[in-house]
Structure formats: C-alpha cells, structure tokens
Amino acid sequence: MNQSFNLSIATETIAKNAQQLGVSIEALENISIEVSAEIIQQPALQLVLTYQVTLPSQTLANQLNWSTWQQTQVNFTDYLWEETCLECFIAGSKIAGCKNDDEDIVATHQIEPHKIPLQQATAYIEINTSPDGRYALYQFENYRNPAALPPVPLYETDGTTRASINWRNCKKLADISGESHLSKNPMVVQTPTHYERSFSLPIIQLPNQQYAIANMMIEQIHPCVILWFGETDLYFASSHACPPDFHNRDYWPKFEL
C-alpha cells in the first residue's frame, strides 16, 4: 500500500522562468514529479519515500543541476534548499514519553482512538535530501518556529543522536545517476529524461494502527521539490500557497497510510 503525490510547479514566476531557460511555459508545466510514500516491514518498520522526476525535453535536462549520488557524500548537511533538493514535511501530535519500545508506547500513548484535530497538531519535521546523498532533518514546534537558521536538527528518541535517512538502491544510483534515457536512433523522437531517488526513515507503529516518527504521530505529509536549472529555481508541491511556502500546513495532504 502506498500514497502517491503528483507535484505541480508554482506558477507565480513561470513566464519569467521559461524565458530565462529558453523554453515554453508549457514545457515547465509538463515537468512531471511523482512521489510515493510506502510503509515497509523489513528489515525494520520504515517509511519509504521515492521521488521520480521526468523532464519533457533535453533542453531542460542539459540545464538541470542534478548531482551524481556518491556514498562519500552521505552526511548531515545544512542549507540544501539552496540547490536541487528533494524535501518532505511531516506533521503530527507529539507523544509524551514515547520510546522505541512497544511496551513503553502502550503505556505512554493514551489517545485511543486519536481525536486531536489536524489544526491543533502543530509540531512538524522537515526532511531535505540532495541527489548526491547529503541530507538534513529538522524539527519545528509550529510554523517556522524555532526560527533559527540553519533550523534545529531532529534527534532520535535518545535526545543526543541526530536523526538520519537510509538511501535505497544505492548501487543503482551510483551506476546510472542522472543518466538520460534517450533513443540512439536519430529517427525516433527523444524520450524524456528521468531521474529517481529513494530513501527511508525508521518509524514505529502505535496500538491504534497509526504510525509515529521521532515521538510524533504522523498526521500530514507534504513531499515537495526544488529543482535548480543553472541560476533558476523552480518549486513543486501537490498544492501551493501564494507565494510558494512549503511550511504552510494549510496545503499539506493528510497522511493516509
């Protein structure tokens, strides 16, 4: 079972962006970004996020800043949103005293069934990943708070270890990262250029069949992407505030896994 998201481009500056990149507005609107969220059980309970980016032309592919995945680049890095960045925001209610132990979860989790309205579940985390393997996870109490830059890192339940992600299909990424899937036959119309990245985060399952991450029940999930083409940045999400603001939870889908 998975939850799918089709991301669309923010259109406030699309005419200017198209002119800068030497393509039509329609070409930018035809950039396809699909994100899937899936719960897997092995080797441990995880939330898997897979990002698939398809560009409609080689003109755009030639300008895309999409770095090759490298094992040596896998580390916590701030300010990834200043370049091509695959992001995800996850919001939910905090679970006081929650630990990665099923008995402790049962003992400390008193909401059964869960009845807190979404608008009251203000805590959220932000995940940033670069195609080359760098990543960052941040925690917020409510809208952009704390306001520190870089944001406050997300920690594991022990309070001292920074949370991390696990990249999936790493060998494949290292072998074909950023490869253009173009026909070698000049008589055949070029196929789009495709890029993909997938990573997972450890989660726990609560007694009421809901899931939690880092002491927080998952209630909303908002995958989004920033693509940089040279000096031009384009913003993609399932729904946009005006101007674009990935932190605005009014535009975040409900978590349905």
pLDDT tens figures, 89-98: 999 988 765 4
Q: How many domains does the chain have?
A: 1
Model confidence at 63: pLDDT above 80: yes
> Which residues face 86 on adjacent strands?
129, 225
Is residue 16 domain-resident? Answer: yes
Is residue 252 domain-resident? Answer: no
Is residue 121 domain-resident? Answer: yes
Show the domain range for 72.
2-245
The DSSP letter of residue 231 is T
Is residue 257 domain-resident? Answer: no
Any idea what the CATH number is for the domain that residue 111 is in? 2.60.40
Instruction: Tell me the C-alpha distance between 85 and 65, whole Å.
Output: 10
pLDDT, one tens digit per residue, over 105-134 is: 333 333 333 443 444 448 999 999 999 999
Q: What is the pTM of this model?
A: 0.85
Is residue 253 domain-resident? Answer: no
Is residue 251 domain-resident? Answer: no
Instruction: Tell me the C-alpha distance between 20 and 230, whole Å.
Output: 10
Q: Is the peptide bond before 113 cis (omega within 30 degrees of 0)?
A: yes
In percent, how much of the chain has pLDDT > 70?
81
Is residue 113 domain-resident? Answer: yes
